Structure 1
Amino acid sequence: MDGLTIHGYRDDLAQAFHDINAQWIAAMYRLEPTDRDVLENPRARIIDRGGDILFVEAAGLGIVGACALQKTGEGQFELTKMGVLESARGRKAGEFLLHAVIARARALGAERLYLLSNSKSAAAIHLYEKLGFVHDTGIMDEFGARYERCNVAMLYPLD
């Protein structure tokens, strides 16, 4: 998509990861201890454990979005902490980022890619569905209790 670029994780982008996600979480929900832990320690909680964080940059706006792949088991990743700044909405930055994150999950050897969300995040859920994620009660049963706000669980068919 025109004017959009993907960047991999660098320590100098850790603050952007924190700020982008803290903004949308606080606007719709409340920051839970699990959120704070990941947002304040992205290298230790995501990168050093075999995951990754990707960023999307919009020409003229800088870094406008971020998304993490948190390794939760052998060949298993949670797509988490995906946010795009309001200033960049409408530019398809989220869709561009989500395509890149799915490709990165495959490159990391993901056999299972899932996400946890909330039905209040209707636009995000629509985007996930558009790119192929499907609602999955097994994922909800296995991981849903991790967040108080979680009432949606989705799985991406990697095969």
Structure 2
Amino acid sequence: MFHLESIDEAVIGYPQRNIIDEGGYIWFAEHPDFGIVGTCALMKKGEGVFELTKMGVVSEARGLKVGEGLLQHVLNHAPAIAFNTLFLLTNKKCEAAIHLYEKNGFVHCEEIMQKFGCAYERCDVAMHYKGTVTN
């Protein structure tokens, strides 16, 4: 859907260094028939401030609610992790994902766009989890 930007290449190529070692988290979704089919990460951006990033589900598992289950799992852990702000950056082309985020408590936020949106060229949607307080 998009070309990989340098930030994508760094995070995907070196997740231990760029997510885990920096205080972030990575989760995987496993399906009994297909194995590991999805992933989602929380990348630390500051004390109690995390970006929900690199969420994806392989095409074979789409429509099986794997993404929603994975997102809900992450959101169940998020209050103890992202106690100030939990946000995400995406693109309008990702309509199904945006609907999923809205359904699960994310709201569009211009403040997040201004503060973090420049991280990706493709970013034209910024959202924060309404269960958190934005800085």
TM-score, normalised to structure 1, is 0.81
Equivalenced residue count is 132
Which of 94, 100, 115 is the matching residue for 1:127?
100
Aligned letter for 1:51?
Answer: G
Q: Displacement of 1:48 after TM fit?
A: 0.9
Q: Displacement of 1:111 after TM fit?
A: 1.9
Report the counterpart of residue 94 of structure 1 in structure 2.
Answer: 67
Report the counterpart of residue 53 of structure 2 in structure 1.
Answer: 80
Report the structure, 1 or 2, having the larger helix content.
1
**In structure 2, the residue corresponding to 1:57 is in which secondary structure?**
strand
Whether 2:31 is the aligned partner of 1:53: answer no
User: In the aligned structure 1, how far is the partner of 2:22 from the partner of 2:39?
Assistant: 18
Report the counterpart of residue 156 of structure 1 in structure 2.
Answer: 129
TM-score, normalised to structure 2, is 0.95
Q: Displacement of 1:47 after TM fit?
A: 0.6
Name stretches of at least 5 consecutive residues in structure 2 with no aligned partner: none
Aligned letter for 1:129?
Answer: E
Report the counterpart of residue 144 of structure 1 in structure 2.
Answer: 117
Aligned letter for 1:78?
Answer: E
Aligned-residue identity in percent: 55
Report the counterpart of residue 113 of structure 1 in structure 2.
Answer: 86
CA RMSD across the alignment: 0.9
**In structure 1, the residue corresponding to 2:4 is in which secondary structure?**
coil
Name stretches of at least 5 consecutive residues in structure 1 with no aligned partner: 1-27
**For each residue in 1:96-122, what CA deviation from the matched residue of structure 2 results, as whole angstroms up to 9, or x when unmatched?**
000011122223253210000000000
Q: Conserved in 2, the CA contact under 8 Å of 1:111 and 1:158?
A: no
**For each residue in 1:129-155, what CA deviation from the matched residue of structure 2 results, as whole angstroms up to 9, or x when unmatched?**
000100000000000010000000000
**In structure 1, the residue corresponding to 2:21 is in which secondary structure?**
helix
